[in-house]
Structures are given as C-alpha cells and as structure tokens.
Amino acid sequence: MALTDEQLERYARHLILRGVGVKGQKRLMSAGVLIIGAGGLGSPVALYLAAAGVGRIGIVDDDVVDLSNLQRQIIHTTADLGVPKAQSAAAAIRAINPDVEVEAICEHVDVDNIASLIESYDLVIDATDNFAAKFLINDACVLAGRPYVHAGVVGFSGQVMTVVPGEGPCYRCIFRDMPAAGEIPTCSQAGVLGAVVGVIGSLEAVEAEKLIVGVGEPLVGRLLTVDALTMTIRRVPLPTRVPDCPICGEHPTITTLDPQRYVQPACAVASH
C-alpha cells in the first residue's frame, strides 16, 4: 500500500528514522494491538500507539472514569466522568488519529473471554493493576503463542518486561505464584506518582513499536526496573529457560485456563 500525502506528513519523523522508515511504518499500520486496561498504564500506551499509526487498537476495560483517576489516567478528562473508560479512551484515540480502527470493549477480562479477545490481535499489552489479571494474561498469551508486554507500578517504582512465547521466560517463570491479598500493596493502598505511571506506560509503547517494526532489542529475558525517587534504572537479566515453569517449562501443568487459578489467595492472619 502506498502512503497518502497526509500520512507522509503525519508520520514524517518515522519515515526518516533509521530502523523504521516506510517499511516499518507500514508494519505499524498493518498491526493490531490489544490493550487490557484503560487506566494509568493504558493511557500513554493507547495515545502513543494511536499517534504512531498502529492500524487497529482494541482497548478493554469494564470500569467508568472516576475523579480520582484523573491524577494519572491522562487519556480521560473531567468531561468523561461516569463514561466507560474503554469508550472514553476510544474517543481520544480517534481524535488523535482518525486512521486508526478502534474497538472499545467494555468487559471484564476473565477466563471465559480472554482467548477470544486476544486471538485477532498481533500483540497484547498488560496495562492492568492486579495480580489475578496479570497471571491470566500471561497464561492466555503463552497458551496462544501471543507476545505481550507486561508492566507494573506502585509508589515511585515500576517495571517492564516483554514475553515472546518460545523465545524467553514468561511472567510465571519469574513470579511463580500469585501473592496473597494484601501481601504486596496496590496503588489504591500505597499510592502512586502519576508521572511514574506515564513513564512506565510509555516504555510499554516503545516495546510494542519495536516488536511490530522488528527493530532493536526488546526486553525478552530482561526485566527493566525504574526507581523514580533515585532515578535508578536497571535492566535485570532473567533466566533463558526455566525448565520447571508450570506453563512453558518442559512438563507444563497448566494447559487450560481454570477460573480457580486466578483467584488471589487470602492473606494468612498472624496470631498475637
């Protein structure tokens, strides 16, 4: 396909960028990305992928915009209060780039729908804020052979890693079991600096664009950690293979998506 005059102008900085160019831009325009979560992480991911010209973006979220979201969820505005987040995000994407085909999915992601949600997309973005969803996304993507980008944020810190099934470790290789409820504080419990979420979400967008274009070194087998308080950024090497991983190891025990597997265990109460 030939780029139109408007596209040549819109994507001019990509077209002159070594490693992207016309070929890379066409790959972006032909790609489909599913973003699970339209909150703090999903906001910069959706905005940057739309601006980059990703041809089809699906955005999944069953929540509505709340006033407390606006401190960090920059894809939404005060005028969107009470609007389903997936619809608000889709409207913002269309406003940035009308060429992008957007699918707003106002659903809760669970074992019943995740396989059908990811099957028509090339790449998945984990922009969720709870462990149950993160383990579910990992397992569904590994079973489907679908690459995805993971991120997590709390307080002043965040992390990013990319999972390409068959080419490197998955989330369960590194974080084997889901922590008990309350064991690790969430953003709603510990707070989060809004700009840190923007940084981590933007890094997810960078990883997605690199994977689509086929340029650079994605964070496969590496965990990037960011401590914004000290501005310390580390790239932690991960094991190449984890033979006893329950889903991608030599003898996997997870072969289907069992709903009970994605219920966060209760935290044991200590006696005094």
Active site residues: 187
Nearest Cα to 115, choosing from 145, 87, 86, 89? Answer: 145
Contact 38, 126 (CB under 8 A): no
Contact 161, 238 (CB under 8 A): yes
Nearest Cα to 159, choosing from 115, 123, 126, 121? Answer: 126
267 is in an annotated binding site: no
Angle between helices 42-52 and 85-96 (to 10 degrees): 30
248 is in an annotated binding site: yes
Cα gap 121→262, rounded to integer Å? 23
Contact 117, 257 (CB under 8 A): no
13 is in an annotated binding site: yes
Angle between helices 42-52 and 194-213 (to 10 degrees): 40
220 is in an annotated binding site: no
245 is in an annotated binding site: yes
166 is in an annotated binding site: no
112 is in an annotated binding site: no
Cα gap 102→135, rounded to integer Å? 26
10 is in an annotated binding site: no
Annotated binding site for ATP: 13, 40, 61, 72, 85, 109
What are the binding residues for Zn(2+)? Answer: 170, 173, 245, 248
